[in-house]
């Protein structure tokens, strides 16, 4: 039965519902008189009735398998309230599993109740967990700025490190895992998989979050884990509450604590908790909420248990926290601080730290094996244009190798990792930042200064050559500013180019690591914001089945978000484009691709075509302006735009080489590996 909900949807949402590109929907709208009329929006971004669109898609046999789930989301999104939407999704998950989690304390509205009924019915047809995970991910994506979720590769790594650091499992073969700020349950989900893989017979998951919607979603999510655990007996207990002020798991004794706590909180309970017995190592200063979470985690560990927390780098060095850091070191509780490369989690521009803590097994102080300091920043791929991101496989291997070597007492640790005696760190600052203590290996292999200077010189020569070509450009006459212009939309209507938009890949289809045989890299806006290129890939069948947009060599790719706005001629392998990325394929008899990309990429062009003034606004690609020139003259501009692209690439490469040379020379002089001469 078609939905009776009157919910507005955009062309992009219709494309997702039908599993096609936006261009296909535009074609349907032009070719079919029966296509529903616009009910709102603008000419550039029209809105249509979801009920009418659903009926039209069904009548014209254009509703693919993806449609069931995609039809649900606009209704949930239209609820407006973040909390009500989250609670409705959680209630849908609860009912799909037969009410295995507590019912919501706040009654849902009639509209939300209808959506829950639809979701439950769809779950019976298409799989309960698949439908729930789809809705949960859409909700997290919609509120990514408000909710900091631990990416799955990072959650898996944290769980692995904790299990490796725990001396031995519980005597009954079971394990208890606690996350006192569990969010939507990413870390607990990873812990359940890791414990099951390690052979645990029983796993108890304990979670808590002060956000009612997140607590409800985590409870529903982990109920699916317990329902599908196979031979491992998994139980989950997730409660709403503030773990610091009124911990609902106060009596818990956990084998493992995993936590990605809120950062830089000022109102964490400093006044009312000043005499709390958890502050064995000192009252956390008002500005050091993260150290309150560290001591809370230690208070919930049973002897021999391990805790892994994701913390901002300032926690390792802020002067206000030096006494507590010193106390943790003296007690032998802080075992490792591992600096991660930027981009691992929000905020993506910061190199976050993993803190590994372990409770002593006996009544006395923990054995002094020193502290592992490891700098994993090298696991970030080279920051060449559109080729960055986190290499999770390399990062995981580095961290696991360093922790295993440290635990075994091995004398040799990986490069960029060091075992330090506690006494070496107990100075006036007690600075635990790995990068300030870990130096390159003393062998001198990393100081290939001759090669670096040679590369620097070649790059500088290339920059000069590109600069000389650009310096020959002359200012236009007085009439230069009056050059006629056209828009991408007008060029598309004239047949000079075709425009297609990328789309969000279906849940579960994006893979990490090295691409498998025939795999197609997936480029997304977050990849561009992190300063690089594709970090995931898709199987060819998923691409063809869903009608995903694939950019080929010579296509002009445009990022349609102001803060990531860019346009370039794609020259690499075929690449799938995600949402808010567009491919323009020119007719070579009418338009030059390099000329088009050069005109489009002007920052003023993106601002003019933006939907509003915010840096998060979208760019209406059809409104981007292009100089109106004959093909022969386009070719002359094209050569200048190519030279400009070369200039920018050489500039970026030179900046990177100069930074590396400066760092290596400074390290070499300070460590005596370079001689200053006589």
Burial track 297-333 (b if 16+ CB lie within 10 A, e otherwise): bbbbbeebbbbbbbbbbbbbebeebbebbbbbbebbb
Q: Answer yes or no: is pLDDT of 19 > 80.
A: no
For residue range 351-368, list pLDDT tens digits in order.
Answer: 899 999 999 886 555 566
Q: Is 248 helix (H, G, I), strand (E, B) or coil?
A: coil
Mean pLDDT in residue range 219-223: 92
What's the pLDDT score for residue 526?
82
Q: Answer yes or no: is pLDDT of 219 > 90.
A: yes
Q: Give 399's pLDDT tier (boundaries 50, 70, 90).
A: very high
Q: Is 284 helix (H, G, I), strand (E, B) or coil?
A: coil
For residue range 554-579, list pLDDT tens digits in order.
Answer: 999 999 888 788 899 998 889 999 98
* Rounded-to-integer distance, Cα 567 and Cα 88, Å: 40
In this structure, are strands 301-311 and 254-259 parallel, antiparallel, or unpaired?
parallel
Q: Answer yes or no: is pLDDT of 635 > 80.
A: yes
For residue range 431-452, list pLDDT tens digits in order.
Answer: 999 988 886 544 444 556 777 8
**Counting Cβ atoms within 10 Å, is residue 500 exposed (0-12), middle (13-18) or buried (19+)?**
buried
Mean pLDDT in residue range 65-87: 80
* Rounded-to-integer distance, Cα 370 and Cα 336, Å: 9
Cα torsion through 141, 144, 148, 152, rounded to 10: 30
Q: Is the dihedral of CA 635, 639, 640, 645 positive or negative?
A: positive
Q: Give 545's pLDDT tier (boundaries 50, 70, 90).
A: low
555 Cα distance to chain centroid: 27
Q: Check: CB of residue 475 under 8 Å from CB of residue 555.
A: no
For residue range 83-114, list pLDDT tens digits in order.
Answer: 999 999 999 999 998 876 677 666 888 888 88
For residue range 245-285, list pLDDT tens digits in order.
Answer: 999 999 999 999 999 999 888 889 999 999 999 999 999 99
What's the pLDDT score for residue 4?
43
For residue range 291-324, list pLDDT tens digits in order.
Answer: 999 999 999 999 999 999 999 999 999 999 999 9
* Rounded-to-integer distance, Cα 170 and Cα 251, Å: 17
Q: Answer yes or no: is pLDDT of 227 > 70.
A: no
Q: Answer yes or no: is pLDDT of 169 > 60.
A: no
Q: From 283, 301, 300, select the one nearest 292 (Cα to Cα).
A: 283
Q: Give 615's pLDDT tier (boundaries 50, 70, 90).
A: very low
Listed range (251-255, 307-311, 334-338, 406-410) with the worst mean pLDDT? 406-410
595 Cα distance to chain centroid: 33
Q: Select, from the ranges 7-16, 27-36, 293-302, the one with the highest average predicted confidence (pLDDT).
A: 293-302
Ordered strands of the 581-586 beta sheet: 497-501, 581-586, 556-559, 566-569
What's the pLDDT score for residue 389?
60
């Amino acid at each position: 039965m078609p939905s009776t909900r009157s919910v507005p949807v955009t062309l992009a949402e219709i494309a997702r519902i039908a599993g096609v590109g936006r261009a296909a929907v535009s074609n349907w709208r032009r070719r079919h008189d029966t296509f529903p009329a616009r009910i709102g929006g603008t000419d550039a971004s029209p809105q249509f009735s979801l009920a009418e669109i659903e009926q039209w898609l069904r009548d014209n046999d254009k509703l693919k398998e993806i449609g069931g789930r995609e039809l649900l989301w606009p209704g949930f999104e239209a609820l407006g309230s973040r909390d009500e939407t989250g609670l409705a999704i959680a209630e849908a998950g609860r009912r799909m599993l037969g009410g295995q989690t507590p019912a919501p304390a706040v009654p849902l509205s009639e509209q939300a109740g209808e959506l829950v009924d639809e979701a439950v019915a769809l779950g019976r047809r298409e799989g309960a967990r698949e439908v729930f995970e789809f809705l949960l991910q859409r909700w997290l994506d919609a509120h990514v700025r408000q909710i900091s979720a631990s990416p799955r590769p990072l959650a898996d790594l944290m769980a692995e490190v904790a299990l490796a650091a725990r001396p031995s499992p519980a005597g009954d073969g079971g394990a208890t895992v606690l996350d006192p700020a569990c969010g939507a349950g990413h870390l607990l989900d990873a812990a359940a998989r890791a414990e099951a893989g390690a052979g645990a017979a029983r796993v108890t998951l304990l979670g808590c979050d002060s956000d009612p919607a997140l607590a409800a979603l985590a409870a529903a999510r982990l109920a699916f884990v317990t329902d599908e655990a196979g031979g491992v007996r998994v139980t989950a207990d997730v409660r709403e509450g503030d773990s610091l002020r009124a911990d609902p798991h106060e009596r818990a004794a956990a084998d493992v604590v995993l936590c990605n706590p809120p950062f830089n909180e000022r109102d964490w309970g400093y006044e009312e908790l000043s005499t709390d017995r958890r502050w064995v190592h000192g009252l956390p200063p008002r500005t050091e909420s993260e150290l309150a979470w560290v001591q809370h985690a230690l208070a919930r560990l049973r002897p021999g248990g391990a805790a892994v927390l994701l913390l901002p780098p300032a926690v390792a060095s802020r002067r206000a926290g030096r006494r507590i850091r010193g106390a943790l070191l003296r007690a032998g509780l802080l075992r490792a601080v591992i600096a991660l490369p930027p981009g691992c989690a929000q905020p993506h521009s910061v190199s976050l730290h993993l803190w590994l803590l372990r409770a002593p097994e006996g009544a006395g102080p923990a054995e002094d094996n020193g502290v592992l300091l490891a700098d994993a920043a090298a696991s970030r791929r080279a920051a060449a244009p559109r080729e960055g991101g986190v290499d999770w496989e390399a990062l995981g291997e580095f961290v696991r190798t360093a922790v295993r070597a440290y635990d075994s007492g091995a004398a040799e640790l990986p490069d960029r990792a060091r075992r330090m005696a506690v006494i070496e760190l107990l100075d006036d600052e007690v600075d635990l930042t790995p990068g300030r203590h870990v130096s390159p290996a003393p062998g001198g292999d990393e100081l290939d200064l001759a090669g670096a200077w040679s590369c620097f010189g070649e790059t500088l020569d290339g920059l000069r050559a590109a600069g000389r070509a650009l310096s020959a450009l002359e200012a236009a006459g007085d009439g230069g500013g009056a050059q006629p212009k056209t828009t991408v939309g007008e060029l598309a209507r004239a047949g000079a180019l075709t425009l297609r938009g990328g789309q969000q890949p279906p849940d579960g289809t994006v893979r990490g690591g090295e691409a498998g045989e025939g795999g197609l890299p997936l480029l997304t806006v977050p990849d561009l914001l992190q300063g690089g290129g594709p970090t995931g890939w898709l199987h060819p069948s998923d691409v063809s089945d869903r009608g995903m947009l694939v950019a080929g060599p010579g296509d002009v790719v445009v990022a349609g978000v102001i803060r990531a706005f860019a346009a370039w001629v794609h020259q690499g392998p075929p690449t799938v484009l995600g949402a808010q990325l567009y491919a323009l394929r020119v007719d070579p008899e009418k338009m030059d691709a390099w000329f088009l990309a050069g005109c489009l990429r002007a920052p003023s062009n993106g601002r003019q075509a933006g939907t509003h003034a915010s840096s998060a606004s979208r760019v209406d690609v059809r409104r981007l302006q292009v100089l109106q020139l004959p093909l022969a003259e386009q070719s002359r501009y094209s050569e200048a735009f190519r030279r400009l692209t070369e200039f920018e690439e050489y500039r970026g490469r030179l900046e990177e080489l100069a930074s590396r040379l400066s760092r290596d020379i400074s390290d070499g002089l300070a460590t005596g590996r370079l001689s200053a001469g006589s």
